[in-house]
């Protein structure tokens, strides 16, 4: 090192320093090239998603609209077995008068109604009569609705007046509070999401497996054919890949429905009778078939690119060393394709668990996936907190798989078409 230290550049700075500076400068220059895109997707993509995910635990609504009540409730001991005292009711009467004036009382009712049925009418009714409330307020409120006499409502009220809530995550995992306020699994007839997550994972796995089974022989064939033939056949793979998702889904509707092409064909061939037409759509079968078809190219392409690199001499060597074709294939060829299978599987799996459009159109009720429920909570039930919680869990799953993909395949090795 001593000789290196002695070296200086023309302007007298030590070479080491100068080199380090140059490296740093070129690092920064390289980074600067990435910055515009990074800022762009930060604003148009990451911030929006993060902003939405915050909704899964943010819970400022109750405290914002009924600040005095929330403050007064802090002193109430929910395990005492008694109703809150008059100070809470007085605070509530004041809050309700303001909130009824601002027409915000219904919002709180709807928010709390997610936790327990009845809050909506309780708040609406009480809000409507808030202006005429006279002390003593406790009696006045109890007169409006006897639900104010129910400790469970008060416990939920107090619990959900905190700034942050875990109730959305609990609900997303089919867990809720029992009547005593303890965390417990929901009764079976109300469990939805765990089953749905499970179904989403199961169907995605099944679809991935089907893709492997279908992609393997085709990729093998493509990789062994001479370039001019394989390029021609590759078009048969790339055409579906390039064709609109909706077009492919539409054509599966045309093929699979009861009066559709396949059923007509089966009836004509005498495989099924005219009244015994198969139900292949609006159920899981529809989702599986259509999604396998749509995702198959994502399996074939990586598998094919890996198989292309395996020298045919491996197999020939195994054969000449006395292996049967099957042994040679299983022991020599297949291990070499594991990387391709891994790359394709993770890609297909990641895409499958987030699918929305195809299951919505061909899945019926048993073929819908978790994304469909998220969409339902976003646009129909309006329980955005729950939608965000479900979305966060799904996103977590996907990111985990994405990291695995990075570990196994390396993001930079991702290729298209």
Q: Which of residues 125-184 bind other proteins (CB under 8 A)?
A: none
String of contacts with other proteins for each residue 11-50, x by CB under 8 A: ------------x--xx-xxxxxx-xxx-xx--xx-xxxx
In the set 350, 363, 389, 409, which binds other proteins (CB under 8 A)?
350
Decide: residue 5, CB within 10 A, 0-12 exposed, 13-18 middle, 19+ buried. Answer: exposed
CB of 306 to other proteins, least distance (A): 16
Contacting residues for 407 by C-beta, under 8 A, at least 6 apart: none
Tokens of 214: 């279908």
Interface size with other proteins, residues (CB under 8 A): 126
Which residue from 255, 264, 275 is spatially nearest to 362, judged by alpha carbons? 255
Q: Compare residues 182 and 244 and give the one whose CB is closer to other proteins.
A: 244
CB of 39 to other proteins, least distance (A): 9
The C-alpha angle with vertex 321 and arms to 320 and 322, in degrees rounded to 5, equals 85
Q: Compare residues 88 and 290 and give the one whose CB is closer to other proteins.
A: 290
In the set 18, 58, 87, 191, which binds other proteins (CB under 8 A)?
191
**DSSP string across 292-344:** HHHHHHHHHHHHHHHHTTS-THHHHHHHHTT--HHHIIIIIIHHHHHHHHHHH
CB of 14 to other proteins, least distance (A): 21
In the set 1, 6, 10, 235, which binds other proteins (CB under 8 A)?
235
Q: Compare residues 84 and 286 and give the one whose CB is closer to other proteins.
A: 286
Binding range to other proteins, per CB under 8 A, among 4-12, 77-85, 89-97, 394-402: 394-402
- Per-state percent for the chain, helix, strand, coil, to nearest 5: 75, 0, 25
Residue given tokens 């395949």 in the structure block:
409
Tokens of 108: 């709180």
CB of 201 to other proteins, least distance (A): 13
In the set 295, 374, 389, 409, which binds other proteins (CB under 8 A)?
374
Q: Compare residues 55 and 86 and give the one whose CB is closer to other proteins.
A: 55
CB of 93 to other proteins, least distance (A): 20
State how far the Cα of 217 lies from the Cα of 22, in Å rounded to an integer.
Answer: 52
Tokens of 356: 């929305």
| Residue 6 interacting with other proteins (CB under 8 A) | no
In the set 57, 71, 264, 336, which binds other proteins (CB under 8 A)?
264
Which residue from 139, 293, 106, 315 is spatially nearest to 215, judged by alpha carbons? 293
C-beta separation of 409 from 342 below 8 A: yes
CB of 266 to other proteins, least distance (A): 13
In the set 6, 259, 311, 313, which binds other proteins (CB under 8 A)?
259
Give me the residues paired with residue 184 across strands: 176
Look at the chain and count its residues: 417
In the set 92, 93, 109, 160, which binds other proteins (CB under 8 A)?
109
CB of 294 to other proteins, least distance (A): 10
Residues 317-346 that bind other proteins (CB under 8 A): 325
Binding range to other proteins, per CB under 8 A, among 6-14, 84-92, 156-164, 244-252: 244-252
Q: Compare residues 91 and 105 and give the one whose CB is closer to other proteins.
A: 105
State how far the Cα of 75 lies from the Cα of 353, in Å rounded to an integer.
Answer: 46
φ, ψ of residue 187 in degrees (nearest 5)? -60, 150
């Amino acid at each position: 090192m001593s000789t290196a230290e002695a070296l200086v550049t023309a302007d007298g700075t030590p070479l080491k320093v100068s080199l380090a500076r140059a490296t740093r400068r070129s690092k920064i220059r390289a980074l600067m090239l990435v910055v515009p895109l990074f800022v762009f997707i930060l604003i148009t993509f990451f911030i929006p998603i993060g902003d939405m995910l915050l909704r899964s635990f943010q819970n400022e609504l109750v405290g914002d609209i009924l600040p005095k009540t929330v403050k007064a409730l802090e002193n109430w001991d929910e395990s005492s077995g008694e109703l809150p005292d008059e100070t809470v009711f007085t605070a509530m009467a004041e809050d309700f008068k303001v909130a009824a004036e601002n027409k915000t009382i219904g919002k709180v009712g709807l928010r709390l109604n997610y936790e327990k049925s009845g809050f909506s009418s309780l708040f609406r009714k009480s809000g409507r009569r808030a202006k005429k409330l006279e002390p003593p307020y406790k009696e006045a409120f109890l007169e409006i609705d006897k639900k104010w006499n129910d400790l469970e409502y008060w416990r939920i009220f107090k619990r959900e007046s905190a700034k942050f809530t875990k109730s959305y995550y609990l609900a997303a995992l089919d867990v809720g509070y029992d009547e005593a306020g303890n965390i417990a699994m929901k009764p079976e007839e109300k469990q939805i999401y765990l089953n749905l997550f499970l179904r989403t994972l199961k169907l995605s796995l099944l679809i991935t497996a089907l893709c492997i089974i279908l992609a393997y022989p085709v990729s093998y064939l493509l990789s062994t054919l001479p370039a001019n033939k394989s390029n021609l056949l590759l078009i048969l793979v790339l055409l579906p890949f390039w064709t609109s998702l909706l077009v492919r889904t539409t054509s599966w509707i045309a093929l699979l429905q009861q009066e559709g092409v396949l059923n007509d064909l089966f009836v004509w061939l005498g495989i099924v009778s005219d009244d015994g037409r198969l139900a292949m759509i609006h159920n899981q079968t529809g989702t599986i078939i259509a999604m396998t078809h749509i995702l198959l190219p994502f399996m074939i392409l990586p598998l094919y690119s890996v198989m292309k690199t395996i020298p045919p001499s491996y197999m020939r060597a195994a054969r000449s060393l006395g292996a049967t074709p099957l042994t040679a294939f299983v022991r020599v060829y297949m291990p070499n394709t594991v990387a391709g299978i891994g790359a394709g599987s993770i890609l297909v799996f990641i895409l499958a668990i987030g699918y929305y459009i195809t299951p919505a159109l061909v899945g019926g009720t048993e073929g819908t996936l978790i994304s469909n429920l998220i969409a339902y909570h976003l646009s129909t039930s309006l329980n955005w907190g729950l939608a965000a919680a479900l979305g966060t869990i799904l996103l977590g799953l996907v990111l985990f798989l994405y990291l695995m993909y990075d570990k196994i395949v390396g993001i930079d090795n991702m290729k298209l078409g």
